[in-house]
Structure 1
């Protein structure tokens, strides 16, 4: 078996890390260091690099540490071991084992592992499923993730289509760009506070900063009715798909179904050139574990159900 050395990420590896992300088979711009470090004050970064004997980078693991537990990474939607294209199973296994051996030397006790969703993978990258079983990993969380597979058959409900066609008569105006202030201040923040007593994961300053770093990947779509913003969607664009990172509507927007109209607009806009539209999870802290209304809404827009799993590995 090949020997690898595992190192904790430092800024000395900034360029090498980002170059690896750009060529990996299972990575998106969320793993770029400029994205990961916007919230570095909230997490103790413990990202890892795996190098061969010639100091060639063979894998990376975006991660943070809380006491004696390693997370892959709590500040990201998904994570896991990031791999090069065409890597063989035996090497992936050796890379995993090298990381776990290293973590034991650092007195870590557990790894919480949340892999990237399969539709984001440029090439299939599910070696981890076999390896986690081999390591007696425990499935600790399974979330419903909703996604429209554009290049496969998907069906929008008749009622959604009916309201969309009816609302085409309204004088909606859709604006797109990198100005998030109207949506954040007039829609997202007040509605999250009102409905869930919560705040957006990203502050306005943070999402603006990230958009400046990734202007082609992070885009805001706002919809106006009679010169008033009534809904908006913050879109994250990856190489093959799009994701609605935030979607919210005002009370007036709810009455005139402005958010649905905006979703239809984005579906039509992107379905020819992209493979999927990820609408995220519908997780909620209740006895079911999910928000039934949100699940129905997204299924009626054409979404198919996938799962977002989280595993615990004892070291």
Structure 2
């Protein structure tokens, strides 16, 4: 196996990191340092850079908690990032080098939440195989509802009835630059009322991220008689439109507001995109399924894709010693 050098990311690596992410085959804007560092007060960064002959060949967005490293707890997905020139044997060698680096730095475990395959530009599941070789344990599995927009899909009668209600009630959809009304009048009150929870991003954080990524973070609101009644925040990547937040007020079933909004997004705004990702409907670390929410998403013609979370002991690097024949 080739020799690779692993080092910790430093602030002065920011521009090189972002340039590498832009060219990788399995990265999105979430791996850009300008996105990752919005919550650097909550996570201790432990991102890794892998070099061969002083040239960057891979990066691992990560944070650390005591003796465990995570890729990355503040991101929806993670894993090893590299370009399409890298072959499977090289990825195995790189993963071995990372485990050795972590072991020598007294880190005992590495947790990885894999990038769902449809976010990548091309197939990029080399890390999945390396995790198998290193006897990584599957510790969590979430289910995302995803529409392949370039293939026929069926929106059910129930969803279309919601669209009809919205049209009858003269609802209006607007894409807006401001997130204030959705956060303050819809998202925060409904999350608190229904789940006693708060969104991952504060209003200030989503506004700041939108300034850095105006083409990737988009807000769509629904109005009834000039009053906001529903909305959604979309994270748009090259291949995928992802519903980061979905919420409507207590009259959403009567007005058909959320059905109307998503029908519009799927059939108009993002119809040329490859995939539409509604996100997960899981709770309790993947062990529970919100049946009603999953049913609603699937009713738009979405099918289920799993996202896997693995944990591997850094001492298992020796299992990658003699795998090539």
**Structure 2 length as normaliser, TM-score?**
0.94
Classify 1:186/1:245 alpha carbon distance in 2 versus 1 (closer, same or farther; 3 Å). same
The equivalent residue for 2:22 is 22
Residues 213-260 of structure 1 deviation map (CA, whole Å, 9 limit, x = unaligned) = 001110100000011100000011101120010010011233212011
Question: Is the 2:171–2:224 contact (alpha carbons within 8 Å) kept by the matching residues of 1?
Answer: yes
Number of positions where the alignment pairs a residue of Structure 1 with one of Structure 2: 314
Question: Is the 1:178–1:218 contact (alpha carbons within 8 Å) kept by the matching residues of 2?
Answer: no
Using the alignment, how far apart are the partners of 2:269 and 2:80 within structure 1? 29
Question: Is the 1:30–1:36 contact (alpha carbons within 8 Å) kept by the matching residues of 2?
Answer: yes
Q: Does 1:40 align with 2:40?
A: yes
Helix, strand or coil for the counterpart of 1:301? coil
Using the alignment, how far apart are the partners of 1:241 and 1:286 within structure 2? 24
The equivalent residue for 1:147 is 146
Instruction: Report how far residue 126 of structure 1 moved.
Output: 0.5
Question: Is the 2:220–2:231 contact (alpha carbons within 8 Å) kept by the matching residues of 1?
Answer: yes
Identify which range, 263-272 or 108-117, moves more after superposition: 263-272
Instruction: Report how far residue 268 of structure 1 moved.
Output: 1.2
Helix, strand or coil for the counterpart of 2:142? strand
Identify which range, 36-45 or 261-270, moves more after superposition: 261-270
Residues 105-127 of structure 1 deviation map (CA, whole Å, 9 limit, x = unaligned) = 10101011111110001010111
Instruction: Give the 5 Å matches for 1:184-195.
Output: 184-195=183-194
Using the alignment, how far apart are the partners of 1:172 and 1:290 within structure 2? 31
Residues 9-63 of structure 1 deviation map (CA, whole Å, 9 limit, x = unaligned) = 011111110001000000000000000000000000000000112x111000000
Using the alignment, how far apart are the partners of 2:208 and 2:197 within structure 1? 21
Identify which range, 280-289 or 298-307, moves more after superposition: 280-289
Using the alignment, how far apart are the partners of 1:254 and 1:185 within structure 2? 21
List alignment gaps of at least 5 residues for structure 1: none
Using the alignment, how far apart are the partners of 2:285 and 2:37 within structure 1? 32
Residues 85-138 of structure 1 deviation map (CA, whole Å, 9 limit, x = unaligned) = 231111111111111110011010101111111000101011122211110110
Instruction: Report how far residue 289 of structure 1 moved.
Output: 1.0
Identify which range, 125-134 or 224-233, moves more after superposition: 125-134
Helix, strand or coil for the counterpart of 1:49? strand
Using the alignment, how far apart are the partners of 1:98 and 1:9 within structure 2? 16
The equivalent residue for 1:250 is 249
Instruction: Give the 5 Å matches for 1:296-307.
Output: 296-307=295-306
Helix, strand or coil for the counterpart of 1:251? coil
Instruction: Report how far residue 161 of structure 1 moved.
Output: 1.6
Instruction: Report how far residue 273 of structure 1 moved.
Output: 1.6
List alignment gaps of at least 5 residues for structure 2: 315-325
Instruction: Give the 5 Å matches for 1:1-315.
Output: 1-53=1-53, 55-285=54-284, 289-315=288-314
Question: Is the 2:165–2:254 contact (alpha carbons within 8 Å) kept by the matching residues of 1?
Answer: no
Classify 1:19/1:305 alpha carbon distance in 2 versus 1 (closer, same or farther; 3 Å). same
Classify 1:287/1:268 alpha carbon distance in 2 versus 1 (closer, same or farther; 3 Å). closer
Helix, strand or coil for the counterpart of 1:133? helix
Helix, strand or coil for the counterpart of 2:222? strand
Helix, strand or coil for the counterpart of 1:224? strand
Instruction: Report how far residue 4 of structure 1 moved.
Output: 1.3
Helix, strand or coil for the counterpart of 2:178? coil
Question: Is the 1:147–1:306 contact (alpha carbons within 8 Å) kept by the matching residues of 2?
Answer: yes
Question: Is the 1:249–1:258 contact (alpha carbons within 8 Å) kept by the matching residues of 2?
Answer: yes
Instruction: Report how far residue 160 of structure 1 moved.
Output: 1.2
Alignment RMSD (CA, Å) = 1.3
**Structure 1 length as normaliser, TM-score?**
0.97
Using the alignment, how far apart are the partners of 1:87 and 1:94 within structure 2? 11
